[in-house]
Amino acid sequence: MNEKIIDFVAHCYRHGAMDINEAYRQTLAKAGMKPQVRPIRRGLVGLVAASVAILLVAGTWLYLNNRSTTLVATDTSRVVKLADGTLVTLAPHSTLSYHGNDCREVEVSGKVFLEVVHDARHPFTVTDNAYTIRDIGTKLMVDETAQGTTVLVTEGAVSFSANTSHEAVVLRQNESARLTANDNALRQMQLSPNAATWATHMFNFNNTPLSEVLRDLSAYYHVRLTCENGSDKRLTGDFHTDSLDTILSIINETLEVKIEKLKE
């Protein structure tokens, strides 16, 4: 053992000045560990042993609370539930990370969809050196690229702010905003609610022009869809992504139109 530690303990120790066993128990409790049944011996030897144990426990506690956890999606999407119950869907080649045991404050890269479990005492926060996103009971998508960061709220609300500004934009259901990387400007924008379909596997249309419906379907299924007699038609309904043919059949019958797939 380091002689300086022993000298320090010997110099500072006063009989009856501290309860070694109590200090040992409190240190283990803070680290989430149970103390051993056998008490630590009193006296100088016991104090030195307790000091070593406390140092080891404290070092372990510091290590566990300063480590980083990184969730990574490789070539396919990945769904993970965090310790607080928040459900994370990572698009291919995206990541989410947090420090220690605090999964309520995260950093992301790429495209991530979050179904946040709300906790008013400990708001869920997505942050980096350019922005801060704080939930107000939310389902949202964050798309971070080299060009900027886009946020789309599909349920609830978030506050979205640039770290260079004290003003935050509050985004509610189906609202979106983008923070550009080149000028740090935060602007609200129009983004289709179905931009998050890759994660939710649902299309949501609410009195949506058929042209926009076909645009969203074409983008998701990587096909070209057209309809000659649907320019004045609008669609309301929710559809699962399982089958494009089923969706088209329902739309054709409901709106009395004929949607065609064009060859690329």
Q: What is the pLDDT of residue 16?
A: 47
* Average pLDDT rounded to a whole number, residues 218-224: 95
Q: What is the pLDDT of residue 8?
A: 42
- Asked if residue 179 has pLDDT above 80, the reply is yes
Q: What is the pLDDT of residue 6?
A: 46
DSSP, res 195: G
Alpha carbons within 13 angstroms on the beta-carbon side of residue 205 total 22
Record the pTM. 0.72
User: What is the number of residues in the chain?
Assistant: 264
Q: What is the pLDDT of residue 13?
A: 47
Q: What is the pLDDT of residue 231?
A: 87
- What are the angstrom distances between the C-alpha of 167 and each of 105, 132, 159, 183, 198? 20, 11, 10, 16, 31
CA 170 to chain CA centroid, Å, is: 18
CA 135 to chain CA centroid, Å, is: 10
User: For the chain, what is the total number of helices (H) and then of strands (E)?
Assistant: 6, 15
User: Across-strand partners of 261?
Assistant: 225
Q: What is the pLDDT of residue 209?
A: 96
* Average pLDDT rounded to a whole number, residues 53-68: 54
CA 67 to chain CA centroid, Å, is: 17
